[in-house]
Structure 1
């Protein structure tokens, strides 16, 4: 699709800087064109070792994302929506960091396009949220959305989707509630649960069956660690979650949340 758009632009004589990023941030909303971002005063070349999407070292022209998030506060909640329907739920605080794990908006220059993600696929452009020093912030693969079309200021997930909530009788520091927070960070970008969520990417994780109901023993944990190591097919898209990104204790709490939600099925 992107190739056709660029080809059509050539035929019509329009500039190839047609891609745009919509920032829906209330009073500070605005639209950025590719050409504007490539001329941003803070744009620079950054190097990303072992890029999450390309699985190799990459170099990008990029702008610190915090420089574009005018008016956004650390307690705010954002959602990055990709062209393919991937919807990454993002706490604002890490995106505003100037130290440690730092978020960048990588900008694809149509005059120097990025390689395809795999044979027959598109690139990660026109906009891609990447991180320098991601280990310092325990950044998960789901916090690297590519083909980003918009970044929106949203109400927190718990307010928008009450069907995702654990039993309200649980204490705030209960492991199930901690697992719910991990679910939002690592799973909600691709999956719905009880029909709740904005993504159209992966299957629902509770309706009709929760994975804890059909994965025996510790196979669910093994699957989350290395999906292709448990079952392989060419169209598989789920990334593995290493122990650096999702420590064993966190993985246990995430699975605990899923198991808890078996008793809270709510058909959409």
Structure 2
């Protein structure tokens, strides 16, 4: 059984300015998106579309950051603690206290991309197909931040599990390091599969559908090992909130793959 290393969440202290590891993982996520986005311009069909330029990657990144932060925070407040934040609305702005939702961030990014598509006169699904393969590495970076902070740990596991880990605040019990599971599945594995899938010229909407299905599936599986939020516990059918939020993602991904499979390239 392993013990979670006590890593100082502050990576660098410059006088009154504290730079946190979690903030650095967000910067890494945005940097990886930009790097992959530039390379995505050389993939089909974007290399044959003269309107797609480096400036588009920069604009998408800027809008995506806004979508992730605003959507992630608002989604957390609505999905996980609606009654609390209705009673304490000013605390919605207190993002430094933690509390972000991937599913809310996804909706925020989608709204931002709707705006980008309309202002640039691009098909929305084409924009999402461009964005989707560049996202999983950012998700992986975020899970590294969760692990460093010792948060979002897993459910209690068999003490004989070689990689079972004790986390501070986890009741001194061996738990699944679910942050690492999510890093590997919805981060690295999803990136490899989606990047290879997107290298070929696919009908518009196929890459986006594959992302929704792939992330939804991997997150659904990971939630079996992740400790449910204490204030929610398990919901209907013994599923966590994260799993219930993944259900429409997977259904939407399957629908997109089926509906767009015969679209022209």
Give your verdict on TM over 0.5. no
Structure with the larger strand share: 1
TM-score by length of 2: 0.29
Higher relative contact order (CA 8 A, sep 6+): 2
TM-score by length of 1: 0.29
